[in-house]
Amino acid sequence: MRKNLDVISAYSIMIGLIILVGFLQSWSMALSILCLCLISAVMTMGANIQWGYAGLINFGIMGYTALGGLAAVLVSVPPVQEAWQAGGFNMILCAFLIAFMVFSIRFILKKYSKSKNRNYGIGAIIIVGLILLRLISAPAIESIEAVDPATTGFLGGMGLPILFSWIVGAFFAGALAYIIGKIALGLRADYLAIATLLISEIVISVIKHEDWLARGVKNVIGLKRPVPYEVDLQSKQWFINLVEKFNQSTLNLITNTLERQEALKQLVIESSTVFVKLCFAGLFTVVVIILLIITQKALYSPWGRMMRAIRDNEEAANAMGKNVVKQHLLIFVLGSAIVGIAGAMMVTYDGLFTPGSYRPMRYTFLIWVMVIVGGSGNNFGAILGGFAVWFLWVEAAPIALFMINFFTSGLEETNAFRIHLVNSIPYFRFLMMGIGLLLIMRYRPKGILPEKIKRI
């Protein structure tokens, strides 16, 4: 018990802070912070697997998150029949064409030795393939996007429950990571960071501009939820009874029946949002706990020891007969898949998919701040980092407002400087993140909860 004291105290403080938000601001607010903290925790666990276990820098988190979100759309939205009739055949043809191109290139690479002719052959296949793709897909895309562009204009998805997308998102992200890993994993650390960052931008721009896939910047809204809707809850008798039971004491104070009815109605509306968020939080907690158990098991297994050996001394690990390249690729795919789950979870929670909102600041750099602050190589640390940083990110505005009012209390309310500062409150969160990261890197470079290595 004693050796886990730091973990327990850190988590108690965190939970305490969220409960404090519940009392001071509102429970709905506290629960949405909790939900996003949990999602961030999943993302940091993915990044932590790559960085903490294997020392790989992945700045492409944004790309995997977006792919996870795309999976949520493709799984849960019902298929758009007219669009499939208009251009479905051509799009399937294109998919086959791409597969054919990939296999023929692989065939050539295997069959022929390195030569100029081989390169020309591959180049020819790519160019001819691209021209064919363009010719086949262009009219199809046009007709798909013409199908009722205000509401659909895309192929739609499979119409399955959205929870499936959490797994599909993991597969999508893993597949992308496999391709990126094949291209870029041989590079040196900071070079890999830049390459992954840029590749994730390519992914985002494809999702943004291929309207036939997921409507692009026109956004997909109204995704189905795995939890009940507020409106349905408000009319359910059992829920009203539950709310009545919980608020017995306050309701009993009101004697007038009509007023009591009104108050109850108000309470039901408020509690319905809280209840929905509680359901989400429960689902997310299950995911976090499952992932935590798996990652902890993996960390202390022989495989985890091998990963640490590779991270700390690649050459030595290689000399011991460990396949460094293969293991790097494996862990790159696994970590990215976890990030993909988080991306799908996030879209599920929001109920909408907005490709325009995927920006590197929020989805790559902030996640990295979480990993570094929390403690790389320690899963509890990574989760804590996700919680603490997201909490600060949301609560930065009220804190900044308080600080500004405190420090400028000598100035008048109408002072131009004070008004300017108050107007720029939203940007103080960047300042806090930056200074927080710099302080942690300087004085506690291993994070709040540093990595612990069990000696055997």
Partner 1 sequence: MDFLNAIVLLLNYLFVPALSYGSQLAMGAIFVSLIYGILRFAYFTAGDLMSFGTMFTILFTWYFQSLGINLGFLPTALLAIPFGIIITILYVLLKDKLVFSYYRTQKSPPVMLAMVSIGTMFVTQAIVRIVIGPFDRRFFDGEKFILKANEFKEMTGLNEGLTIKSTQAITLVVTVIVVSILFWFLNKTKTGKSMRAYSDNEDLALLSGIDPKKVVMITWIIAAILATIGGALYGLDKSFKPFTYFNNMLPIFAAAIVGGIGNPFGAFLGGYVIAFSEILLTYAYKKFFVYLLPENLEPDGLLQLLSTDYKFAVSFSILVIVLLFRPSGIFKGKVL
Which residues of this protein are in contact with partner 1, per CB under 8 A? 57, 183-184, 186-191, 193-195, 197-199, 201-202, 205-206, 208-209, 361, 365, 368-369, 372, 421, 423-424, 427-431, 433-435, 437-438, 441-442, 445
Query: Minimum CB separation from partner 1 for residue 355, in Å?
Result: 11
Query: Minimum CB separation from partner 1 for residue 100, in Å?
Result: 21
Closest CA to 75 of 179, 146, 169, 196: 169
Q: Which is nearer to partner 1, 190 or 232 (CB)?
A: 190
3-state secondary structure of 410: coil
d(Cα 33, Cα 364) in Å, to the nearest integer?
A: 19
Q: Which is nearer to partner 1, 24 or 183 (CB)?
A: 183
d(Cα 325, Cα 328) in Å, to the nearest integer?
A: 5
Q: Which is nearer to partner 1, 363 or 368 (CB)?
A: 368
Q: Which is nearer to partner 1, 340 or 355 (CB)?
A: 355
CB-based burial, 305-338: b 16+ in 10 Å, e otherwise: ebbbbbbeeeeebeeeeeebeebbbbbbbbbbbb
Q: Tokens in use for 349? A: 């929670």
Q: Which is nearer to partner 1, 25 or 424 (CB)?
A: 424
Q: Which is nearer to partner 1, 158 or 194 (CB)?
A: 194
Query: Minimum CB separation from partner 1 for residue 201, in Å?
Result: 6
Q: Which is nearer to partner 1, 282 or 445 (CB)?
A: 445
Query: Minimum CB separation from partner 1 for residue 130, in Å?
Result: 9
Query: Minimum CB separation from partner 1 for residue 98, in Å?
Result: 16
d(Cα 423, Cα 427) in Å, to the nearest integer?
A: 9
Within a 13 Å sphere around the CA of 331, how many CA atoms are in the beta-carbon half?
29
Query: Minimum CB separation from partner 1 for residue 169, in Å?
Result: 22
Give the type of residue at 389.
Answer: V
Q: Which is nearer to partner 1, 271 or 378 (CB)?
A: 378
Q: Which is nearer to partner 1, 274 or 331 (CB)?
A: 331
Query: Minimum CB separation from partner 1 for residue 436, in Å?
Result: 8
Q: Tokens in use for 14? A: 């965190």
d(Cα 335, Cα 170) in Å, to the nearest integer?
A: 9
| Residue 148, phi-psi category: left (phi > 0), alpha (psi -120 to 50), beta (remainder) | left
Closest CA to 393 of 420, 365, 366: 366
Q: Which is nearer to partner 1, 132 or 206 (CB)?
A: 206
Give the type of residue at 117.
Answer: N
Query: Minimum CB separation from partner 1 for residue 351, in Å?
Result: 26
d(Cα 106, Cα 102) in Å, to the nearest integer?
A: 6
Helix residue ranges, H only, 210-313:
211-214, 230-235, 237-246, 248-253, 257-299, 302-312
Residues 6 or more apart from 150 whose CB is under 8 A from it? none
Q: ∠ CA(230), CA(345), CA(229), 5° rounding? A: 10
3-state secondary structure of 353: strand
Q: Which is nearer to partner 1, 349 or 391 (CB)?
A: 391
Query: Minimum CB separation from partner 1 for residue 289, in Å?
Result: 29
Provide the 8-state DSSP code for 351. Answer: S
Q: Are 55 and 188 in contact (CB under 8 A)?
A: no
Give the type of residue at 127.
Answer: I
Query: Minimum CB separation from partner 1 for residue 426, in Å?
Result: 8
Query: Minimum CB separation from partner 1 for residue 187, in Å?
Result: 6
